[in-house]
Chain A
Amino acid sequence: MNLKLIVIFLLMLCLGSFALAETNTVNKDSTAVDSIAPPAPVTMFKAFDTPNDHGHSITLNWQLSADDGAGQNSVLQYQIYRWVPYLMDSLTTLRKAMTTVKEEEIKRGHEKVLKKEMRSLKKEYNAVLKELPSAHKAYPNNGYWKEVGKVPAGTKSYKNTGSKEKESQDYLPDLTDFYYRVDAVTKDSTVRASSKVFGPVQCSGQWFNTGRIPVLVAVILFTFLTIYFVEKAKNGAKLYVRPLSGIEAVDDAIGRATEMGRPILYILGLGSVADIATIASFTILSRVAKQVAEYQTELLVPTYDPLVMAVAQEVVKSAYLDAGRPDDYKEDTVHFVTQSQFAYVAAVNGIMLRELPATNIYMGVFFAESLILAETGALAGSIQIAGTDQIAQIPFFIVACDYTLIGEELYAASAYLGREPLLLGSLKAQDYAKALVIILAIIGLIMSNFGWTQFTDLFKVAN
Chain B
Amino acid sequence: MKREIPVAITFIVGTAYLIAYFIPHEPFNYFENWFNDWFAVIAAFAIWLGVLNLIKISTIKIVRKSPDWPYSVLIIVSFIIIVFFGFYEGYRGLYANPHYSFRDPGTSFDWLYVNVYTPLSATMFALLAFFVASASYRAFRARNFEATLLLLAAFLVMLGRVPVGDILTSWLPHQYQLSQWANWIMHVPNTAGQRAIMIGIALGLVSTSLRIILGLERSYLGND
Contact A212 B21 (CB under 8 A): yes
Tell me whether B50 and A336 are in contact (CB under 8 A): yes
Q: Which residue of B lies closest to A307 (CB)?
A: B46
Tell me the chain B residues, 13-36 only, with Cβ under 8 Å from chain A.
Answer: 18, 21-26, 29
Q: How far is the CB of B99 from chain A (nearest CB, A)?
A: 7
Which B199-219 residues have a C-beta within 8 angstroms of A? 199-201, 203-212, 216-217, 219
Q: How many residues of B contact A (CB 8 A)?
A: 65
CB-defined contacts of B175 to chain A, threshold 8 Å: none
Q: Which residues of A contact B51 (CB under 8 A)?
A: 306, 336
Closest to B35 in A: A274
How far does the Cβ of B63 sit from chain A's closest Cβ, in whole Å? 13
**Chain B residues, Cβ within 8 Å of A314:** 221-222
Structural contact, B220 and A279, CB atoms closer than 8 A: yes
With A54-B24, A311-B220: A335-B54 Cβ-Cβ less than 8 Å = yes
Shortest distance between the CB of B91 and any CB in chain A (Å): 13
Question: Chain A contacts of B136 at CB under 8 A?
Answer: 399
Indicate which residue in A54, A282, A414 contacts B26 across the interface (CB closer than 8 Å): A54
Residues on A with C-beta less than 8 A from B188 are: none
- Let me know if B71 is at the binding interface, CB within 8 A: yes
- Contact yes or no, A274 B39, CB < 8 A: yes
Instruction: Indicate if the CB atoms of A52 and B203 lie closer than 8 Å.
Output: no
* A:397-440 near B, CB below 8 Å: 398-400, 406-412, 414-415, 418, 422-423, 426-427, 429-430, 433-434, 437
Within the complex, what minimum Cβ distance (angstroms) separates A101 from chain B? Answer: 16
Secondary structure at the B interface, as helix, strand, loop or mixed, is helix
Asked if A80 CB lies within 8 Å of chain B CBs, one says no
Contacting pair B216 A422 (CB below 8 A): yes
B23, B197, B217 — most chain A CB neighbours (10 Å): B217
Q: How far is the CA of A55 from the CA of B210 in the complex (A)?
A: 30
A367 to chain B, nearest CB (A): 11
Question: Does B1 have its Cβ within 8 Å of any Cβ on chain A?
Answer: no
Selected interface stretch from A122-130, A177-185, A219-227? A219-227
Within 8 A of A (CB), among B101-147: 117, 120-121, 124-125, 127-128, 131-132, 134-136, 138-139
Is A196 an interface residue when CB atoms closer than 8 A count as contact? no
Instruction: Say if the beta carbon of B5 comes within 8 Å of chain A.
Output: no
Binds B, one of A1-9, A150-158, A251-259, A343-351: A343-351
The answer to whether A430 touches B203, judged by C-beta atoms less than 8 angstroms apart, is: yes
Asked if A319 and B194 sit within 8 Å, CB to CB, the answer is no
> Is A391 interfacial (CB-CB < 8 Å)?
yes
Chain A interface residue bracket vs B: 35 or more
Which residues of A sit under 8 angstroms from B222, Cβ to Cβ?
311, 314-315, 317-318
**How far, in angstroms, from A407 to B131 measured CA to CA in the complex?**
23
Max chain A C-beta neighbours (<10 A), residue from B42, B46, B94, B209: B46
Residues from chain B with a CB closer than 8 A to the CB of A216 are: 22
> Which of A11-19, A236-244, A368-376 is near enough to bind chain B?
A368-376
When the two chains form their complex, are residues A209 and B22 in contact, meaning their CB atoms are under 8 A apart? yes
> Which of A157-211 touch B at CB < 8 Å?
164, 205-209
Q: Are A206 and B39 in contact (CB under 8 A)?
A: no
Contact A418 B224, CB 8 Å, known A55-B25, A274-B39, A426-B216? yes
Cβ contacts A to B, 7 pairs, < 8 Å: A272-B43, A279-B212, A315-B219, A340-B117, A394-B197, A407-B198, A427-B207
Given contacts A205-B26, A279-B208, A399-B139, 18 further A-B contacts (CB under 8 A): A55-B24, A206-B24, A209-B21, A283-B220, A306-B49, A318-B223, A322-B224, A336-B50, A368-B125, A372-B131, A391-B198, A391-B201, A400-B135, A407-B197, A407-B198, A408-B197, A410-B204, A422-B216
Q: Which residues of B contact A (CB under 8 A)?
A: 18, 21-26, 29, 39, 42-43, 46-51, 53-54, 56-57, 60, 67-68, 71, 94, 99, 117, 120-121, 124-125, 127-128, 131-132, 134-136, 138-139, 194, 197-201, 203-212, 216-217, 219-224
Give the top 10 A-B pairs by smallest Cβ distance, nearest first: A306-B50, A408-B204, A411-B204, A342-B124, A408-B200, A314-B222, A336-B50, A54-B29, A205-B25, A283-B219
